[in-house]
Structure 1
Amino acid sequence: MKNKDMFKELVDIFQLMDILNKNGFEKEYGKLNINEVHTIDFIGKNTKNNSSEISKYLHITRSGATKIIKKLLEKNYILEYSTPENKKEKYFNLTKAGEDIYKKHLENHKKSQERDSKIFDTFDLNEKKVIHEFLNVLKDDLKKKVEDIK
């Protein structure tokens, strides 16, 4: 198989994943966007998280993170607090609504992993090693490209 044919297959896979994620995402989370849900997920997993930590996690600017935080505060998914030691720095906790989204997100990831990891059962150990190597090379390549566009 030629490289250009494999690349086309990869592009087709990315497009199908994008369609699946968008349609499934809207169905599951309604008016929340992916960055809002991932911010809720980050806050649910981390204590004393601030806008700087959120921006690093999402790979966006701090002002971008601040906009997401503002929306989540307005939608009542998170609460803002500060510590007695540093009243200037703002941290965030989940509200009941935010906790519900956080739990739903964890459950959806668990279900997806259980459902989608079965595809690897069709391969033997040597094939899995090649696939694993390919996925690592692809991930490293994509990380480098993401860094280059920053």
Structure 2
Amino acid sequence: MKKEDQVLMGFRDLYNKIVWLNKNKMEDSLKGYTSSEVHCIEYIEKNADSNVTKLAESFYMTRGAISKLTQKLIKKGLIESYQKSDNKKEIYFRLTAQGKVIDKIHEDLHKEFQERDKAVFEQVTEEQFDSMLSFVEKYSRHLDAVIKKQGLDMKSE
């Protein structure tokens, strides 16, 4: 097997193990909320003036799908929409108090999982981190270019 195949299979396997290990705890602690809903809440909390376009680009989803998702979150009382006084056209989102509670639970779970995996990351050198980050950035830029070349740019949907 070629090394590039080993790397991609390794990433996929790692990702699947992390998801599998975290799944039960996430589902128990965030009962009644989908992964998409929780990650949308997280994005809105971490990014000021979140709107449908920014969310769609971040999640690689259509604006229509994000509109449905945000409407569900509004109905559940987790986010609210607002407009700026200088731009009545654009609609933005922010968390409600209830949305902040869900975000805090999610954040605490991630801290718990990071603590669980800390022993591995403590052994990684600065150079190894830099090398891994460099690879991830290069690969991401390559995929961005492929997406754009294929006309799949989220901004055009």
Task: Give the TM-score normalised by the residue count of structure 2.
Answer: 0.73
Matches within 5 A, 1:93-104: 93-104=94-105
Residue matched to 1:30: 31
Deviation at 1:143, TM superposition (A): 6.0
Residue matched to 2:118: 117
Dislocated runs of 4+, deviation >4 Å:
4-11
Deviation at 1:120, TM superposition (A): 2.9
Residue matched to 2:109: 108
Deviation at 1:101, TM superposition (A): 0.9
Judge conservation of contact 2:38–2:103 (CA < 8 Å) in 1.
yes
Structure 1 pair 10/53, CA: closer, same or farther in 2 (3 Å)?
A: closer
Residue matched to 2:89: 88
Structure 1 range deviating more: 64-73 or 50-59: 50-59
CA deviation digits over 1:103-140, x for unaligned, max 9? 122222222223212213345x4xx6346524542564
Residue matched to 1:55: 56
Structure 1 pair 80/134, CA: closer, same or farther in 2 (3 Å)?
A: closer
Match for 2:131 among 130, 133, 142?
A: 133
For structure 2, the residue ranges without an aligned partner over 5 or more in a row are 153-157
Structure 1 pair 63/121, CA: closer, same or farther in 2 (3 Å)?
A: same
RMSD over aligned Cα, in angstroms?
2.9
Residue matched to 2:73: 72
Structure 1 pair 84/122, CA: closer, same or farther in 2 (3 Å)?
A: closer
CA deviation digits over 1:51-89, x for unaligned, max 9? 112212222221121111011011111111222323332
For structure 1, the residue ranges without an aligned partner over 5 or more in a row are none
Task: Give the TM-score normalised by the residue count of structure 1.
Answer: 0.75
Instruction: Give aligned pairs, total.
Output: 147
